[in-house]
């Protein structure tokens, strides 16, 4: 019996069950319920959902494989992500929950940015929604590719069929259950991911004798230089360290993460959520580093020779555990891909329905109509993403490469604007619009012309230019009206919604 496949099937059945349960429990579901769970998420679900939607299969395949192959210098990306996660929860989460409520109970990030400035203009809202729709479609396509690659790595199955299975399960529970189903599946998937990355290094420490001879494989680099592998974490080039840390800036503009803050039941719950989320990310990233180091000691030579360093977690799981347990651990890779893709599907859908369809196409659309339009958009985005992901052309590969830079695009366009909207009472609508446009344009131009020659991650200049443009334009603009400052004052008043 193929225990790995059996456990994986059980896992998929559990995910589908959650979607079906929330569909039949929510006969009177509204647009707010479908896209933000009625803003009633508890601290544990909000925290685990945010982290699971943040970390894709990259956590279990890309990062450990990169560390195994190139050394501990790659750890700076993880350090940047850990710092960014902590700052996002500490500085942004509570205030964004309060501000989204004060700004006409906003459902989406573009809607919040417009309501925050009490404007009737839809320019910023629509521009943001279009960016979301395009970028998240590409993001979902990349998740389909990752999911299919995991299937084909684990089982003897055609990549096209693997992608269809992955997509079908993902669509069903997202389509049926909406935000509640996505958050609860992400909650369990987050627990599974953490358990999986902790289990492998703990078992190695308990069962393996990592003697001095084996440890020499860690401290000696690929070219034979003594201690180079270990020292690379501190001796990495400044540009590599800066780029790694800069990943943390992206969090301030990540819609699928920020929307979790908006959905928390009460601002007072954020402290507990932050504790859970920060603990999760620190444990997970630290465990992945140990997986890479132990993988280099035990099976590194074999994987590097075959060019399969990204499978270090897969191989260790199979070597260390009974097939049934290994199947559960390997399900964590699928969980990582699904927990990211489902969130992106829902955020892209909510942006279209709330920021384009209802305000511009069908102003009098009922909640039921908007709800089903949102579900339809989930299907449309998934279908388009499937064709992008399944294409074998060079153009499709170029699109997949651009998806890797979407993190920088979101961080550059929206990161500084979100921060200023939450902390600067004088901030204006024109300043926000300037910040979004300047950040996005700088990010793209830097990526095309300067990223390769300078080695500097495009989010650094993109974020800086966005911040500068937003501040300068705001100072040149007239002061915000009393209506706008009243929103700021309402959101920052003591005891609001606690």
Structure tokens at 7: 């456990």
Return d(Cα 409, Cα 131) in angstroms, integer: 9
Report the predicted TM-score, pTM, of the whole model to 2 decimal places: 0.85
**What pLDDT is recorded for position 38?**
54
Q: What is the pLDDT of residue 397?
A: 46
| The pLDDT value given to residue 255 | 87
Work out the percent of the chain whose per-residue pLDDT is above 90: 28
Three-state SS sequence of the chain: CCHHHHHHHHHHHHHHHHHHHHHHHCCCCCHHHHHHHHHCECHHHHHHHHHHHHCCHHHCCHHHHHHHHHCHHHHHHHHHHHHHHHHHHHHHHHHHHHHHHHCCCCCCHHHHHHHHCCCCCCHHHHHHHHHHHHHHHHHHHHHHHHHHHHHHHHCCCCHHHHHHHHHHHHHHHHHHHHHHHHHHHHHHHHHHHHHHHHHHHHHHHHHCCCCHHHHHHHHECCCCCECHHHHHHHHCCHHHHHHHHHHHHHHHHCHHHHHHHHHECCHHHHHHHHHHHHHHHHHHHHHHHHHHHHHHHHCHHHHHHHCCHHHHHHHHHHHHCCHHHHHHHHHHHHHHHHHHHHHHHHHHHHHHHHHHHHHHHCCCCCHHHHHHHHHHHHHHHHHHHHHHHHCCCHHHHHHHHHHCCHHHHHHHHHHHHHHHHHHCCCCCHHHHHHHHHHHHHHHHHHHHHCHHHHCCCCHHHHHHHHHHHHHHHHHHCCCCCHHHHHHHHHHHCCCCCC
Mean pLDDT of the chain: 82
Confidence grade of residue 439 (pLDDT, cut at 50, 70, 90): very high
The pLDDT of residue 461: 95
In the chain, what are the domains? 3-116+123-392 (1.20.1730.10)
Check whether 217 has a pLDDT greater than 70. no
405 vs 457: CA distance, rounded Å: 9
Q: Which residues neighbour 265 within 8 Å (Cβ) at sequence distance 6 or greater?
A: 39, 40, 41, 42
- Per-residue pLDDT reduced to its tens digit, 236-263: 777 778 878 888 999 999 988 998 898 8
Please determine, for residue 228, whether its predicted confidence score (pLDDT) is greater than 60. no
Q: Percent of the chain, pLDDT > 70? A: 85
Of 128, 34, 60, residue with least CA distance to 338: 60
Q: pLDDT band at 301, cuts 50/70/90?
A: confident
Find the mean pLDDT for residues 122-150. 78
Taking residues 21-46, report their average pLDDT: 66
- pLDDT of 36 reads 58
Asked if 333 and 56 count as a contact pair (C-beta separation under 8 A), the reply is no
Please choose, from the candidates 456, 417, 422, the residue with its C-alpha nearest in 3D space to the C-alpha of residue 440: 417
pLDDT (tens digit per residue) in 56-80: 777 888 788 888 877 777 888 889 9
- State the pLDDT confidence band at 460, using cuts at 50, 70 and 90: very high
The predicted-structure confidence for 356-415, as pLDDT tens digits, reads as follows 888 888 888 887 788 788 888 888 888 888 888 777 654 444 444 556 778 888 999 999
Which residues does residue 264 pair with via DSSP β-bridges, in sequence order? Answer: 41
pLDDT at 227 over 60: no
More confident: 375 or 450:
450
User: So what's the pLDDT on residue 234?
Assistant: 62
pLDDT: is 445 or 8 the higher one?
A: 445
Kindly state the greatest CA–CA separation across the chain.
72
Q: What is the mean pLDDT of residues 186-203?
A: 88
The winner for highest mean pLDDT among 169-173, 218-222, 424-428 is 424-428
Question: What's the rounded mean pLDDT across residues 456-481?
Answer: 96
Q: What is the pLDDT of residue 282?
A: 94
pLDDT value at residue 355: 79
User: For 165-180, how does the pLDDT look when each residue is reduced to its tens digit (9 = 90+)?
Assistant: 888 887 877 776 666 6
Tens digits of per-residue pLDDT, 303-346?
A: 888 877 888 898 999 899 998 898 888 888 877 777 777 777 87
Q: In the predicted model, what is the mean pLDDT of residues 291-303?
A: 85
Length of the chain: 498
Residues 6+ apart with CB under 8 A from 77: 63, 243, 244, 247
pLDDT at site 431:
96
- Chain Cα centroid distance, residue 461: 21
Predicted confidence (pLDDT) at residue 266 exceeds the cutoff of 80: yes
């Amino acid at each position: 019996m193929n225990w790995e496949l059996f456990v994986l099937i059980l896992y998929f059945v559990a995910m589908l069950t959650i979607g079906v349960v929330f569909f039949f429990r929510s006969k009177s579901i509204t647009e707010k319920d479908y896209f933000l769970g009625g803003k009633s998420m508890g601290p544990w679900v909000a925290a685990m959902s945010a982290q699971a939607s943040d970390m894709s299969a990259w956590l279990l395949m890309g990062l450990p494989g990169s560390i195994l192959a190139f050394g501990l210098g790659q750890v700076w990306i993880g350090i940047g992500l850990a710092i960014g996660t902590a700052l996002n929860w500490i500085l942004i989460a509570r205030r964004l929950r309060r501000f989204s409520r004060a700004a006409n109970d906003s459902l989406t990030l573009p809607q919040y940015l417009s309501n925050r400035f009490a404007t009737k203009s839809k320019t910023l809202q629509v521009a943001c929604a279009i960016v979301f729709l395009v970028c998240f479609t590409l993001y979902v396509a990349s998740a389909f590719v990752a999911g299919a690659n995991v299937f084909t790595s684990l089982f003897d199955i055609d990549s096209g069929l693997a992608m269809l299975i992955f997509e079908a399960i993902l669509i069903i529970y997202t389509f049926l259950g909406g935000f509640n189903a996505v958050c609860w599946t992400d909650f369990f998937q987050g627990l599974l991911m953490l358990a999986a990355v902790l289990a492998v290094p703990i078992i190695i420490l308990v069962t393996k004798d990592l003697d001095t001879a084996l440890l020499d494989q860690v401290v000696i680099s690929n070219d034979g230089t003594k201690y180079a592998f270990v020292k690379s974490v501190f001796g990495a080039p400044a540009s590599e360290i800066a780029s790694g840390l800069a990943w943390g800036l992206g969090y301030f503009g990540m819609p699928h993460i920020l929307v979790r803050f908006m959905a928390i039941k009460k601002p007072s719950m954020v402290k507990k959520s932050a504790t859970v989320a920060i603990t999760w990310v620190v444990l997970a990233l630290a465990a992945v580093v140990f997986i890479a180091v132990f993988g280099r000691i035990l099976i590194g030579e074999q994987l590097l020779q075959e060019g399969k360093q990204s499978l270090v977690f897969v191989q260790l799981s199979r070597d260390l555990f009974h097939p049934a347990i290994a199947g559960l651990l390997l399900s964590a890779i699928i969980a990582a891909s699904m927990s990211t893709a489902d969130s992106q599907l829902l955020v892209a859908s909510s942006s279209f329905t709330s920021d384009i369809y209802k305000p511009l196409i069908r102003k009098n659309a009922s909640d039921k109509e908007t709800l089903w339009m949102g579900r339809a958009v989930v299907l449309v985005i998934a279908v388009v993403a499937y064709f992008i992901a399944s294409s074998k052309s060079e153009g499709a590969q170029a699109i997949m490469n651009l998806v890797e830079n979407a993190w920088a695009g979101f961080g550059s366009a929206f990161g500084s604007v979100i921060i200023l909207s939450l902390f600067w009472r004088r901030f204006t609508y024109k300043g926000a619009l300037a910040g979004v446009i300047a950040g996005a344009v700088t990010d793209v131009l830097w990526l095309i012309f300067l990223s390769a020659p300078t080695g500097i991650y495009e989010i650094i200049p993109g974020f800086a230019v966005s911040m500068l443009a937003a501040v300068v334009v705001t100072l040149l603009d007239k002061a915000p009206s009393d209506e706008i400052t009243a929103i700021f004052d309402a959101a920052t008043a003591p005891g609001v919604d606690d």
